[in-house]
Structure 1
Amino acid sequence: MSIYNGIIRRFQFYEAAMPKVATVQCFVQHYRRAHLGGSDFLDDVEAKVCEHAHQGDEEPSKPFTFTWRSDANGKPIAGCGSDADAFVVGMSSKQLLHRLDRDRSAHVLHLDATYKLSQVEYPVMVVGVSDCMSSFHVVAFFIMSQQTEHHFAEALAMLRRMYTMVMNKQLSVRFVMADADKAQRNAVDSVLGVDNDIVNLICYFHVAAKIYKHTRGVPIVLAARVARDLADTHLLPSSRALNHAA
């Protein structure tokens, strides 16, 4: 409807003279697929993934795609998105992967999933790092057909392997901040925790939002006390101070 209304405003058409919304949508989808490269057909998506697949000789800033599986010819296999054949595709560049090459105790690896970046609302997991200046640096994007432990584990395994291929060293991680999601937590422990002493962190905003949601039915004084205790806990300087406060 936004495109339909935009045409009316831009070209000053009377609504009665406009074609049906379905006709406009069909034209836009055809133009996007034919001229802009936008398509959610599996064959077209696989062709795009193969076209931009990692080769090893890319310029540092050139983006590439990568998957966990490949066929006999070395072409990446993205999967069809079914339960038995998961769709997981990663996107990054050598320059972005270099951001992981830093002191493991001086940065936090962030994992965050959103549904608002793809036409078919597939989850997109954003992976990045934050430094001591609270600056966030993107490392890679992963488009997945579902948010299950298997999908997250495959994405993280892809990240580890691609980092090793580019940097010629193993990925070293200490602190990981993910969504309040059990599937993500299990995937982090099973993939990154194999040879890393992982400290799992939870986003303060997610915790605060959950606390607010579940205290709306209690007395205001009690809800305010819970929120204050949460904020005080968040500002504690160390786990030792937390144990002492408890």
Structure 2
Amino acid sequence: MTFAWARACGELRRYDAASVLRTLKTFKVHKSQLVVYSMLVSSPRANRLTPELKLFAREISREGNLPVRIRSRMIDCFQLDESSVPNLSKVQSYVNCFAKTRLKNNGNLDALADMIGSAVFTGKEMEIQAFTFGGNYDAEGRLVIGDGFDGDPFFAGVLTKNLLYRLDRPPATFVFYMDATFKLNQMGYPVFVCSISDKRRLFCLVAIFLISHRTAMQYYDALMSLNTVYERMTKKHLELKFVMGDADDAQCNAFKRVLRETSECVYLM
């Protein structure tokens, strides 16, 4: 008894062909006298995530890589192929679980608000203890961070007392920098950095702000809130002589509204 071969598909790449073959049932053929029958054999066990692959996935996921990218890098770094690398669904399940439980990447705005609110500035912090601050608080004194949409942009600042005390010096002895950097977080929000440099040309961080929009109002809130915290800590107004930024109109407008109202300084670009 014979069977004719039927063409299922053709002109496939090697990886695609391997994927198609894995979906086909596996049969084991036995011969008994003149009767041919088939016995269904269980499919081979799927490749599992070894401890080495799990460690690799955790390290790469901290960089914000997606599961499909992590799986591709597994193939390159461990010299695997499509037949030996764990399937994408298994990598997705492990990476997403790690991101939610360990990296707090769960998209829960309430949990994020609680975490930021628990570290809000009170004045009782240690010199090197990080605290959060901003320009909008509710009736209970909790920091309002926003949801990231146009009508309610996200905004939160982070600093320590030691960092802020770097501004407590003669204003003519340093240059104050303000600039926005990108690709530092998974949401793609710009990070607004405030820093200074002195005659030794050292870069000294003062404060960072995570903002969702690069608008004049958000820059204004950042500078105004920084000035407010400085006044609460030092009992003095923030005085700047030289300020360096870029040609961003939003940044320039915020600078004119805040810094030129509190001190006479020169804006450098």
Instruction: Give the structure-2-normalised TM-score.
Output: 0.69
Instruction: Identify the residue that residue 59 of structure 2 maps to in structure 1.
Output: none
Aligned pairs for 1:1-246 (under 5 A) are 1-8=68-75, 13-21=80-88, 23-202=90-269
State the shift of 1:51 in Å: 2.3
Quickly say closer, same or farther: Cα 1:25–1:178, change in 2 above 3 A.
farther
Give the SS at the match of 2:172.
coil
Matched residue type, 1:34: T
Give the SS at the match of 2:206.
strand
Quickly say closer, same or farther: Cα 1:65–1:178, change in 2 above 3 A.
same
Give the SS at the match of 1:77.
coil
Matched residue type, 1:78: I
Give the SS at the match of 1:59.
coil
State the shift of 1:27 in Å: 2.9
Checking the alignment, whether the CA contact within 8 Å between 1:67 and 1:89 is kept in structure 2 is yes
Matched residue type, 2:262: D
How many angstroms apart in 2 are the aligned matches of 1:65 and 1:111?
A: 18
Deviations 1:69-103 (CA, angstroms, capped at 9, x unpaired): 11121111101122221211000000100111111
Instruction: Identify the residue that residue 242 of structure 1 maps to in structure 2.
Output: none
How many angstroms apart in 1 are the aligned matches of 2:109 and 2:260?
A: 34
Checking the alignment, whether the CA contact within 8 Å between 1:189 and 1:198 is kept in structure 2 is no
Deviation larger for 48-57 or 191-200: 48-57
Quickly say closer, same or farther: Cα 1:121–1:107, change in 2 above 3 A.
same
Of all paired residues, the percent bearing the same amino acid is: 36
Cα RMSD for the two superposed structures = 1.9
Q: Which has the higher helix share?
A: 1
State the shift of 1:6 in Å: 4.0
Quickly say closer, same or farther: Cα 1:61–1:38, change in 2 above 3 A.
farther
State the shift of 1:49 in Å: 0.8
Name which one, 1 or 2, has greater alpha-carbon Rg. 2
State the shift of 1:8 in Å: 3.8
Runs of 5+ consecutive residues of structure 1 not aligned to the other structure: 203-246
Checking the alignment, whether the CA contact within 8 Å between 2:164 and 2:207 is kept in structure 1 is yes
Checking the alignment, whether the CA contact within 8 Å between 1:40 and 1:120 is kept in structure 2 is no
How many angstroms apart in 1 are the aligned matches of 2:93 and 2:85?
A: 14
Runs of 5+ consecutive residues of structure 2 not aligned to the other structure: 1-67
How many angstroms apart in 1 are the aligned matches of 2:233 and 2:93?
A: 42
Give the SS at the match of 1:151.
helix
Matched residue type, 1:72: A
Checking the alignment, whether the CA contact within 8 Å between 1:147 and 1:183 is kept in structure 2 is yes
Instruction: Identify the residue that residue 231 of structure 1 maps to in structure 2.
Output: none
Deviation larger for 142-151 or 10-19: 10-19
Instruction: Give the structure-1-normalised TM-score.
Output: 0.76
State the shift of 1:22 in Å: 5.8
Q: How many residues align?
A: 202
How many angstroms apart in 1 are the aligned matches of 2:106 and 2:208?
A: 18
Give the SS at the match of 1:105.
helix
Quickly say closer, same or farther: Cα 1:106–1:140, change in 2 above 3 A.
same
Checking the alignment, whether the CA contact within 8 Å between 1:40 and 1:119 is kept in structure 2 is no
Matched residue type, 1:89: A
